[in-house]
Amino acid sequence: MRRVLDARRAGAGRRPGHGRTRWMPRPGGTTVARNPSPVSDPLASVDGMSEREYDLIVIGAGPVGENVADRAVQSGLTAVIVESELVGGECSYWACMPSKALLRSGAVLRAARDVDGAKQAVTGDLDVAAVLRRRDAMTSDWNDSGQVQWLEGAGIDLVRGHGRLTGEKTVRVTAADGTTTDLVARHAVAVCTGSAALLPGIPGLADIEPWTSREATAVQNVPGSLAILGGGVVGAEMATAFEGLGTEVTIIARSGLLGGTEPFAGELVADALRARGVTVKTGVDATAARRDDDGRRVLELSDGTSITADEVLVATGRVPRTTDLGLESIGLDEGIWLDVDDTLRVRGFDWLYAVGDVNHRALLTHQGKYQARAAGDVIAVRAQGGAVDAAGDVIAVRAQGGRGRRRAVGRARRDPPTTTPFHR
């Protein structure tokens, strides 16, 4: 006997709710909600195990997973999403939303100070507590009840717990209390688990318990000093945000800043950060990490110098969330980026899809959502016996920090780019 959750009643909009839930760190720099929004148990269990069947199983309830499931349901399929953390994913709680909330107050203050008439009226520094309260509101205090309501209204079932593939079109979900649910897909499984921060193999780094982007964006106590390893988007954004909050910031980058963009863009950002008092050290690596006698973090650098800071943020890249996903049950290695064709189907499998960061085509939420809409449509068409035509260079576009190709790419293809002047 099993009871089916009726997840098709009308729900609220996509905007998350505002109940109060505090986050807590986990080993490896990840965080989870202490009390995610409760949902009705979708299954009655027998001896701690239940089983259900859907047209589509989606692992991961971030914006990518939501869009894959939503698109498939709109086409008449049944879908379930498996989520071990918060419905809404990285962007809603530990990336896009909180980072922009932390940046906004400082940006407004700097803009006012750049304008005669306004700058004379602006005195003092940011109210740090008020900035953090606004950030908390933007993340709905890490409560996902609004996102759960949206799933219900969209007709998408939710099973909370850790999902692992157990074979072709089968997923076992283990809940926090140890009970398991076996899910069977009639047509497809979509892996939308995203990516996590890479912790480089620097001796002693793990021992000093560094921040990742999750701890930085969910900060409750702003440190007096912060050393940032990495000069990409996360490093540049968090340097800007914490400098505005009064933190002494140092960036340590192996090359220039914003390496995926045109060199001049990184140079402009580096100059702007230095003008605000941020120390930007480029062309150096961290070779070791330790704590000093006062418990502060110390980074030894390749140029023979060292940096001491209250906290260290690691922002050196991303790895796929494919460890402990059960890939070995279908003959794949764990911890790999999943290689897909131009319809987002994992090569060698006619039922398995990998969408968003996990396929390493474009590690950006908006690109992931675009892929998700395409994947949901493709899954529905194939489930209904239709054929799919895909233009390879549409889904495969790699996100950049601006429009068009980089100049070096244009030169290599003997296709000179068009340059448009930009006036500040």
Cα–Cα dist 176/414, whole Å: 56
Strands (E), 144-262: 157-160, 162-167, 170-174, 180-191, 195-197, 225-229, 248-253
- Reduced to 3 states, what is the DSSP secondary structure of residue 137? helix
Question: Tens of pLDDT along 25-38?
Answer: 333 333 444 446 55
Is 399 strand, coil or helix?
coil
User: Is pLDDT at 396 greater than 60 in this prediction?
Assistant: no
Q: Name the pairing type of β-strands 318-320 and 195-197.
A: antiparallel
In sequence order, the β-bridge partners of residue 58 are 81, 190
pLDDT tens digit sequence for 70-83: 999 999 999 999 99
> How much is the pLDDT for 278?
98
Q: How far apart are CA 72 and CA 57, in angstroms?
A: 10
Q: What confidence tens digit (pLDDT) does each residue in 331-370 have? A: 999 999 999 999 999 999 999 999 999 999 999 999 999 9
Write out the two tokens for 53: 């069947």
Pairing of strands 248-253, 225-229: parallel
CA distances, 191 to each of 86, 212, 356, 360 (Å): 16, 23, 9, 13
Q: Tokens at residue 177, please?
A: 């209390």
When pLDDT is cut at 50, 70 and 90, the band that residue 387 belongs to is confident
pLDDT of residue 407: 57
Burial-class residue 424 by CB neighbours within 10 Å (0-12, 13-18, 19+): exposed
Q: Is the pLDDT of residue 414 over 70?
A: no
- What secondary structure does DSSP assign to 355-394, as a single string? -GGGGTS--SHHHHHHHHHHHHHHHHHHHTT------HHH
Within its chain, how far is the Cα of 412 from the centroid? 32
Within 8 A by CB and 6+ apart from 123, the residues are: none
Query: How many other C-beta atoms are found inside a 10 Å radius of the C-beta of residue 337?
Result: 16
pLDDT in tens, 291-342: 999 999 999 999 999 999 999 999 999 999 999 999 999 999 999 999 999 9
For residues 390 and 393, give the distance between their C-alpha atoms in angstroms, rounded to a whole number.
9
Q: What share of the chain is helix, strand, coil (3-state, %, to 5)?
A: 30, 25, 45
Mean pLDDT of the chain: 86
Which stretch of 11-20, 77-86, 327-336, 373-382 has the lowest confidence by average pLDDT? Answer: 11-20
Q: Report the C-alpha gap between 341 and 359 in whole angstroms.
A: 10
Does 263 score more than 80 pLDDT?
Answer: yes
